[in-house]
Amino acid sequence: MSDCLFCAMVAGETGTVGVYDDDVVFAFLDHRPVFKGHVLVVPKTHVVTLLDLHDVGPYFERVQAVTRAVMAGLDAKGSFVALNNVVSQSVAHLHTHVVPRNPKDGLRGFFWPRTTYASDEEAREYAAKISAQMS
């Protein structure tokens, strides 16, 4: 879709910091991460909700691989993996949040604090750590 931000990211039309890219998904750093290393995984085909996704298995295999890479690349003890359908969905394109977690990291319930990267270089460093685990 020409007016979809995530479709533009998939097409390489934005300055998004990518983490993983194949024929099924594009994964990239969230520009307002809950914690540094927060990744969004989107299907390359434009679908709005999980209910619209026809081939669920390959999508979630990639979400699982990205989750593993986030944890290993950032030495995170756990993860928070979530998606919204319509309500609280900031972009009308299916996306799954993969957030690195550690004990006592301050995340409580659904009150998601947001942070920023100190620089584009720092964001690229986080992306490189995660990408290196995707082989």
Q: How confident is the model at residue 69, as a pLDDT? A: 98
Report d(CA 119, CA 36) in Å as an integer: 12
Domains of the chain with bracketed CATH: 5-131 (3.30.428.10)
How many residues comprise the chain? 135
Strands (E), 1-135: 18-21, 25-29, 39-43, 78-82, 96-101
pTM of the model: 0.87
Q: Amino acid identity of 124?
A: R
**Residue 54 among the catalytic residues:** no
For tokens 């584009």, name the residue: 120
Which among 38, 93, 95, 97 is annotated as catalytic? Answer: 95
Q: How confident is the model at residue 106, as a pLDDT? A: 84
**Alpha carbon of 90 to those of 8, 41, 127: distances in Å?**
15, 14, 22
What are the pLDDT tens digits along the chain (135 aa)? Answer: 669 999 999 999 998 999 999 999 999 999 999 999 999 999 999 999 999 999 999 999 999 999 999 999 999 999 999 998 888 888 999 999 999 999 999 887 666 677 889 999 999 999 899 998 987
